[in-house]
Amino acid sequence: MIIGIIGADDRAVAIGRLLHACGHQVSFSDPTPNHAALHAAEALDGLAAVSTPYQQGEQADALVLAVHWQDLDLALAALGTFKKGVVIDATRPPALPHGHSGAELLAHKLDNRHVVKAFVDDLQPGRPVRVAADDPEAREAIESVITTCGGTIEDYGPLSRAIEIERSYAQEHPLVQK
């Protein structure tokens, strides 16, 4: 698969490293003008490309949104429309009003039903990746990517339960707001 990662912090690099090691073509972008995507690609020893969110939306089979929550709207504006592939929501939102998850909000903003909540936690050997999604094909595609890379899944069910993943992370890491 061609996978674009929008975000370039250490967690985005870890996700990119995992996906590349499993044979996926990876590119990094960042909606902020601080050259972070270039540094993320360099962290993979030049085995990942540098792109823009818009170019990734045109070329990728799947996108990973691994930006800080406060940069989400900037990332979505840079991305434009993306309806052809799966969007992996790896954001770590703060508590949102009305009991909605960040993943539900993202699906609404993108008008895309192929949103899968995954990769919220830091990748650790032996720790399952928590996943929630409404679209069974999108869930299956991402679960296949994760298991092919040697990971295991903890299935949370529908996207409405992504709030449990987000809240659990926030409780485990109260000072981290990404």
CATH number at residue 61: 3.40.50.720
Boundaries of domain holding 37: 2-172
Q: In this predicted structure, what is the pLDDT of residue 175? A: 58
Q: What is the pTM of this model?
A: 0.91
Q: In this predicted structure, what is the pLDDT of residue 127? A: 92
Q: What is the pLDDT of residues 3-22, one digit of tens each?
A: 999 999 999 999 999 999 99
- Residue 94 placed within a domain: yes
- Residue 177 placed within a domain: no
Q: Does residue 168 surpass a pLDDT of 90?
A: no
- Residue 66 placed within a domain: yes
pLDDT band at 176 (very low <50, low <70, confident <90, very high): low
Phi first, then psi: give them for residue 98, nearest 5 degrees.
Answer: 70, 15
pLDDT band at 95 (very low <50, low <70, confident <90, very high): confident
Number of structural domains the chain divides into: 1
How confident is the model over 128-135, as a mean pLDDT? 96
- Residue 154 placed within a domain: yes
- Residue 178 placed within a domain: no
